[in-house]
Chain A
Amino acid sequence: MNSLALAITITAGVLFILRLIRGPSLADRAISVDAFVSTLVIGVTIASARPDSGIIEGTVLVVALGGFVGTAILARFIERRGS
């Protein structure tokens, strides 16, 4: 059953990457990267709940914080470059 949740999350991640490739403007790409990192956090959390995966929960914390910093820097970049 855990695999079902993981499969749904991976589908969502693939859809975000499709938007990242297609996205007409740079802003669309920034948004989809942000949402993809959120989905990544969800996926790592689900994976860490499996007893045999060996992923510790600290990983989730690092991914979440890295995602926030990345989004903030990307927004700065858009503001400076334009469009």
Chain B
Amino acid sequence: MNALGEILMILGSCFALLAAIGIHRFPDVYSRMHAAAKSPTLGLVLVALGAGVRIWTLAATTTLVLVVVLQLLTAPVATNVTARAVHLTTRVPLDGDDELARDEAAGRSVGVPDPDED
């Protein structure tokens, strides 16, 4: 049981290290964001699982489950807000339409899917 917790924690910290390597090796802001947003979240899930297995009391496990749920809810929101700010303020080459500008020019509320899109 103890060894299982240790292995899970080492795996999770390896995901954090992967994110750190990715943030140094990717060429532009969006791909760095891709590396920095997802893999620490998965790493935290694994580490919390390992810590919960290792501590194995009800109070600690409840708190760790709460941490994981909150992180899974807030990490995409934080990344979305940052990506929006980056998109609005920097000139990163796009490989398609600027959909945010198109939607705002059409006066639609941003983020709501368009009913007559296709």
Instruction: Spell out A's residues near B (CB within 8 Å).
Output: 1-2, 4-6, 8-9, 11-13, 15-16, 18-19, 25, 27-28, 30-32, 34-35, 38-39, 41-42, 45-46, 48-49, 57-58, 60-61, 64-65, 68, 71-72, 74-76, 78-79, 81-83
Q: Which of B37, B43, B78, B85 contacts A68 (CB 8 A)?
A: B78
Q: Which of B3, B20, B32, B66 has the most CB of A within 10 A?
A: B20
If the complex has contacts A15-B24, A45-B51, A57-B64, are A31 and B13 also in contact, measured as CB distance less than 8 A?
no
A31 contacts which chain B residues (CB < 8 A)? 23, 29, 32-33, 36, 82
Q: List 29 A-B contacts (CB under 8 A).
A: A2-B9, A5-B13, A9-B16, A11-B20, A12-B17, A15-B17, A16-B20, A19-B20, A28-B32, A30-B82, A30-B85, A31-B29, A31-B82, A32-B23, A34-B37, A38-B36, A38-B41, A38-B75, A45-B48, A45-B51, A45-B67, A57-B55, A57-B59, A57-B64, A60-B48, A60-B63, A71-B78, A72-B81, A79-B84
Q: Which of A4, A12, A58 contacts B16 (CB 8 A)?
A: A12
What 1/0 mask marks residues of chain B from 1 to 24 whose CB sits below 8 Å from any chain A CB?
001011001101110110111011
The distance in angstroms between the C-alpha atoms of A42 and B41, with both chains bound, is 9
> Does more than half of chain B's interface fall in helix, strand or loop, or is it mixed?
helix
B101 contacts which chain A residues (CB < 8 A)? none
* Cβ–Cβ contact A79 & B6, under 8 A: no
Instruction: Spell out B's residues near A (CB within 8 Å).
Output: 3, 5-6, 9-10, 12-14, 16-17, 19-21, 23-24, 29, 32-33, 36-37, 40-41, 43-44, 47-48, 50-51, 54-55, 59-60, 63-64, 66-67, 70-71, 74-75, 77-79, 81-82, 84-86, 88-90
